[in-house]
Structure 1
Amino acid sequence: METGIALVTGASSGIGEATAERLAKAGYKVYGTSRRSAQAGQRTFGMLPLDVTSDESVEAVVKEVLRLHGRIDLLVNNAGFGVAPAAAEESSIGQARAIFDTNFFGIVRMTRAVLPHMRQEGSGRIINIGSVLGFLPMPYMALYSATKHAVAGYSESLDHELRTMGIRVSVIEPAYIKTPFDANFMEPDVPLDDYLEIRTAIARRVKEVVESADGPEVVAETVLQAAIAARPKLRYTAGGLAARLRLLRRFAPAGLVDAGIRKDLRLQT
């Protein structure tokens, strides 16, 4: 039995692919998207080309799904990329704009494209893939953290606006997830020798932690939970580490959180 029509951005690998697969298994008719040309292959869902930084591309993919099915019941905004661990000043304004254009404005474009149809139907779910970096700082990933803080704030405000129209918005906030995400890291475009040693050490530490992290399936399962909940929560953590970090941020003294972050990343106090 078909649960509904779902559109998942950034579904060629990692969290997006796992999410699309999980939704398809749960009964959704799923369309994944990728900026690069990606074939459906052995996947249980279809693939459509999409560049979330292009208004025309966003409009075209939404129009195509509506042509095929007449509705979109679930939008999962997952497309995104990060800058390789680097100091904030090692990225130009152009690079900062680029990461926001995908990670944040891409969500805004997709949301604006599907909302008229969801409002007309009087129902719908929008699930945005955020990060624990949407409520915790991450030294040497300042721009990525900033985009995820923006996603969290946008999602929370949007959910308040849309509830009376039968539409709910949730943000999923995982911690480290073992995916090929780092393969899409953009290198800082104005690297400085002053940061070379610490940048290298942070990158090594992040790679070390990711190797032992949860797989993308934990995020996919949380997305499904949010999608089918009768009363969805605004924010969901995904995985044990993310849940612990949420509790730490909520209840621990600020000084303890600060010290814990620096200790984990092996930064000098």
Structure 2
Amino acid sequence: MSKIILITGASRGFGKLWATALLKRGDKVAATARNIDDLNDLVAEFGTAVLPVQLNVNDRSAVFEAVEKVNNHFGRIDVLINNAGFGLFGAIEETTEEQARAQMETNFFGLLWVTQAILPVMRAQGNGHIIQVSSFLGLVSLPILGIYNASKYAVNGLTETLAAEVKGFGIKVSLIEPNGFSTDWSGASAFQTEPNEAYAPVRDAFFKGATPDSWGNPETTTPAVLKLIDSENPPLHFLLGKVAYPVLKEVYAARLAEFEDWKDVAVAAHGH
């Protein structure tokens, strides 16, 4: 049976790719975008199988209205892919209040509002799959992406808690955690801080470290994401790309070693 899938941020990047693949295999997709005209090509190709929805995920009331519209239109929502978000490049000291708040508003709060809106629908159904598009930078961090890192760490903390809270309702929860891919996340849709020359060495090292081979091909993520959606027992943490795992393995080994080095001091601090 075909699935009903709601995808936020479906106008470009991963959202557009995955929406297209799902429609091609016969699923029905509610696709959201800030500019609904960006979805015209999907409508032209797939007709009534796609429901375009104009949405700014930062607007909580609009999010709830959009989810209600999708549920009323299709009669159910089997899968949510919470994909809306953007990148902010710059050192923490360089970041303005407006930039920091905008990053968290979309990447964290927007995702939270969509999650809250979908939960009553899926609880009533007794099933569903919430897929949050996070990043491997919600597990480890990189310089020059501090506020982005923080937004994805927040998404991961929220989602791990969510998984425990909704398991009894028959709702599955997954985090997609890609390493870098050649979408416009780092291009047209990204924002940059005003550079402070004091951080030029850090910035230069960051960009020199990003070799062409470290960026994955977005098109080749589709089979993996379809497999995740179709899984009876999907993982909570789902890495995408060949860079994420070895980086995580190294960082987590170093983290555990540091905990071990300070274990006696930490235990003594407990007091009894």
State the TM-score, normalized to the length of structure 1. Answer: 0.85
Q: Pick from 93, 113, 123: which aligns with 1:119?
A: 123
CA distance in 2, matches of 1:68, 1:46: 8
Equivalences for 1:133-148 in 2 at 5 Å?
133-148=137-152
Q: Pick from 161, 164, 170: which aligns with 1:160?
A: 164
Identify which range, 37-46 or 147-156, moves more after superposition: 37-46
| Counterpart secondary structure, 1:247 | helix
Equivalences for 1:207-246 in 2 at 5 Å?
208-209=211-212, 213-246=215-248
Any idea what the Cα deviations from partners look like across 1:216-258, whole Å, max 9, x if unmatched? 23443333222211111110111222233333334x334999x
Any idea what the Cα deviations from partners look like across 1:117-154, whole Å, max 9, x if unmatched? 11011000000011111111111100111111111111
CA distance in 1, matches of 2:206, 2:108: 25
Give the deviation of 1:92 after TM superposition: 1.8
2:180 paired with 1:176: yes
Number of residue equivalences: 251
Structure 2: stretches of 5+ with no match in the other structure: 259-272
Any idea what the Cα deviations from partners look like across 1:166-213, whole Å, max 9, x if unmatched? 001100111010111121111215x4232245435534654x44x762
CA distance in 2, matches of 1:201, 1:177: 19
Q: Which amino acid aligns with 1:239?
A: G
| Counterpart secondary structure, 2:52 | strand
Q: Answer yes or no: is the 8 Å Cα contact 1:52–1:102 preserved in 2.
A: yes
Alignment correspondent of 1:28: 27
CA distance in 2, matches of 1:147, 1:14: 19
Give the deviation of 1:47 after TM superposition: 2.6
Alignment correspondent of 1:247: 249
Q: Answer yes or no: is the 8 Å Cα contact 2:60–2:110 preserved in 1.
A: no
Q: Which amino acid aligns with 1:40?
A: N
2:58 paired with 1:59: no
CA distance in 2, matches of 1:242, 1:205: 14
Structure 1: stretches of 5+ with no match in the other structure: 258-269
Q: Which amino acid aligns with 1:185?
A: A
Give the deviation of 1:18 after TM superposition: 1.3
Any idea what the Cα deviations from partners look like across 1:57-106, whole Å, max 9, x if unmatched? 2122212212211211110001101112x211111222211101100111
Q: Which amino acid aligns with 2:251?
A: R
CA distance in 1, matches of 2:184, 2:108: 20
CA distance in 1, matches of 2:79, 2:134: 17
2:76 paired with 1:71: yes
- Alpha-carbon RMSD across the aligned residues, in angstroms, is 2.3
